[in-house]
Amino acid sequence: MPIDILSRIGGTTLLPLRRIVPAKGARVLLKLESENPTGSMKDRMALAMIEAAERDGRLQPGGSVVEYTGGSTGVSLAQVCAVKGYRLHIVTSDAFAREKLTHMRLLGAELTIIPSEAGRMTEKLTKDMIEAARGIATETGAFWTDQMRNTDQLAAYDKLADEIWEQTEGRIDGFVQSVGTAASLRGTGEALLRRDSRIALTAVEPAESAVLSGGPTGAHKIDGIGAGYVVPLWRADLVDAIERVSTAEAAAMALRLAREEGLFAGTSTGANVTAALRLAERLGPDAIVVTVMCDTGMKYLNSFGAQLAS
């Protein structure tokens, strides 16, 4: 079987945090999804969505793909489409890291940029992007991956859960993941609970737009999560807790990870680790909590640079 870059998706390291941990809390293990080819966990779901569409004929050889995205899904789709020979049209926004937009273009994607409100993520922006993608798909006949509703991606997170289970040798007490489309939390969580129904699942959302826990919609600057409304793939019955983490808390934790653990990640990872430490304190020293390093901080160099300069 021919080997290409897509064969390098998955099989990422599970690493224990050493210094950013509660003194009497659980061990916290971080799944380094930054090791995927584009530096993001979204490589898994992009490949799953495209291959499912290939199998059932929704996507034909030489065809076109369209999607709306905050960036990481777009970069991952751009890589998959480049390897497989599909044209890709991405709807995104100036609210998201410029590095991601540049990366998509470098991989051959055509971009439509939707203006944001002062560079912040809001419900209106999410829905404007979705409608723009819908219009392009209708007009061009392109295959619309529609990540907010696409259940084909859940199979990718089954594999992520299998890796976590094997790497912990079945010793996992809690799993923590931030919610964008909700697919990663749902897919990974469902698969882990099939293995052990006692595992505690914690969802993470921006404190400024805590709609999953009953708060009002709002604006925030945590890339890739917090759509501003309850997304279709969300399953409230799966989770034991919803943690609210502010943009400031997420950014501060991302910097701590870089400076104290040598792990350079984005703000969604900062939110994950903040919530994982809270769960670790509740579960105590005999437990193991797993969370996800969603992507590499190299996708946010300009954003972090501006923060350090201010």
pLDDT tens profile 198-249? 999 999 999 999 999 999 999 999 988 999 999 999 999 999 999 999 999 9
Residues 6+ apart with CB under 8 A from 113: 92, 93, 94, 101
How many residues belong to the chain?
310
Top-level CATH class of 42-144?
A: alpha beta
Q: Cα(155)–Cα(190) distance, rounded to whole angstroms?
A: 11
Q: Residue 38 — pLDDT band, cuts 50, 70, 90?
A: very high
Q: Residue 301 — pLDDT band, cuts 50, 70, 90?
A: confident
User: What pLDDT is recorded for position 119?
Assistant: 87
Q: Cα(194)–Cα(117) distance, rounded to whole angstroms?
A: 42
14-16 and 27-32 strand pairing: antiparallel
For the chain, give the mean pLDDT.
Answer: 95
Domain with CATH 3.40.50.1100 in the chain: 5-35+160-309, 42-144
Per-residue pLDDT at 1 exceeds 60: no
H helices within the chain, ranges in order? 42-56, 72-84, 98-106, 123-140, 154-167, 183-195, 247-256, 267-283, 301-309
Q: Residue 303 — pLDDT band, cuts 50, 70, 90?
A: confident
Q: Cα(261)–Cα(285) distance, rounded to whole angstroms?
A: 20
Among the listed residues 60, 54, 49, 134, the one whose alpha carbon sits nearest the alpha carbon of residue 91: 134
Average pLDDT over residues 174-182: 97
Among the listed residues 224, 208, 187, 196, the one whose alpha carbon sits nearest the alpha carbon of residue 92: 224
Instruction: State the DSSP code for 110.
Output: E
Average pLDDT over residues 126-141: 96
Q: Residue 310 — pLDDT band, cuts 50, 70, 90?
A: low
Per-residue pLDDT at 305 exceeds 80: no
Could you tell me what percent of the chain has a pLDDT over 70?
97
Burial environment of residue 102 by CB neighbours within 10 A (0 to 12, 13 to 18, 19 or more): middle
Tracing tokens 């969505």 back to the chain, one arrives at 49
14-16 and 143-144 strand pairing: unpaired
Fold of 5-35+160-309: Rossmann fold (3.40.50)
Per-residue pLDDT at 307 exceeds 80: no
Average pLDDT over residues 92-114: 94
- Measured CA to CA in angstroms, residue 286 lies from 28, 60, 82 at distances of 11, 51, 46
Please name every residue paired with 177 in a beta bridge, in sequence order, or none if there are none.
203
